[in-house]
Amino acid sequence: MIGIENVSKTFFANGPREVRALNNINLQISPGKFTILIGTNGSGKSTLLNMLTGSEKPDTGKIFIGGVNIIPQPEYQRSKFIARIFQDPLMGTAPDLSVIDNFRLASLRTKAKSLTIGKTSGFRIFVQDKIAQLNMGLENKIDQLMGNLSGGQRQALTLIMAIMDESKLLLMDEPNAALDPYASQVILENAQKIIADHNLCSIMVTHNLKDAVKYADHLIVIKNGMIQQDRQIINRSSLSVAELYSFME
């Protein structure tokens, strides 16, 4: 369970450029639910994700993961249990390395660093088993250069690399925005399955209201740094794009 309690953040406080990015945010994110966060530009979405990863510190409030307040923890410590996927597939992979080499580097994220990067037969089987979850046939391409794969394939592999070491929280910042419609659907369907199968806490930021209606188990609408809607979706037919848009106006 992720608990966000009374989190506020103001940039350029007490000056002419003051911006109240977050205003007393309270949320609970349950494992196994596809949580989707929507809002217009400047609504506070990215600031909230940055508070979770530690790249920004709140002025007030607490953030709990597994009952532990992580606010005092620096960003590098949080990276051991928080994975983040960005909009650009290029950001999460090394194009001049093979797929297996990318996975080996990703596996070192939560382990002590050394000068040797080993690829044992056991590790190859482990990676292939993980990639097979995608049902895209990519487990047969682990010796290919990552840069030779399509953007959708790379983003799918980034998703697997993000959760391969049992992260507790998966953050996705518009992970399908740079993809074509088919690749976008593949990414979101895989994300939905992985979140449920691994019982992950997750937050995905998107501007796409249709995606929010189609995939959200838990929907959060943020506007001007405040939560406008915090809704568990029981019946998807009860939610519409028009309704979401009305909350954002």
Report the half-sphere exposure of 10 (CA within 13 A, side-chain side): 11
Spatial neighbors of 199 by CB under 8 A, at least 6 apart, are 31, 32
pLDDT at residue 222, as a whole number:
94
Map residue 102 onto helix, strand or coil: helix
Hey, what's the torsion of the CAs at 137, 83, 189, 31, to 10 degrees? 130
pLDDT at residue 115, as a whole number:
44
CA-CA distances (angstroms) from residue 43 to 40, 48, 217, 222?
Answer: 5, 10, 21, 6
Pick the closest to residue 194 from 98, 83, 96, 99 (CA basis). Answer: 83
Which of these ranges, 20-24, 215-219, 232-236, has the smallest mean pLDDT? Answer: 232-236
| Residue 34 clears pLDDT 60, i.e. is over it | yes
Which of these ranges, 8-12, 75-79, 89-93, has the smallest mean pLDDT? Answer: 89-93
The better pLDDT of the pair 9, 118 is held by 9
Mean predicted confidence (pLDDT) in 210-224: 93
| Residue 112 clears pLDDT 70, i.e. is over it | no
> Using an 8 Å Cβ cutoff, are 220 and 31 in contact?
no
Pick the closest to residue 36 from 193, 197, 247, 233 (CA basis). Answer: 233
| Residue 113 clears pLDDT 70, i.e. is over it | no
Rounded to the nearest integer, the mean pLDDT of the chain is: 89
| Residue 236 clears pLDDT 50, i.e. is over it | yes
pLDDT at residue 111, as a whole number:
58
The better pLDDT of the pair 237, 37 is held by 37
Instruction: Name the DSSP class of 246.
Output: H
Query: Band of the pLDDT at 97, cuts 50, 70, 90?
Result: very high
CATH architecture of 1-81+167-180+198-249: 3-Layer(aba) Sandwich (3.40)
Which of these ranges, 32-46, 117-131, 199-213, has the smallest mean pLDDT? Answer: 117-131
Q: What is the pLDDT of residues 178-208, one digit of tens each?
A: 888 998 999 999 999 999 999 999 999 998 8
CA dist., res. 217 & res. 12, Å (int): 35
> Using an 8 Å Cβ cutoff, are 44 and 21 in contact?
yes
Where do the domains of the chain lie?
1-81+167-180+198-249, 89-166
pLDDT at residue 217, as a whole number:
94
pTM of the complete model: 0.88
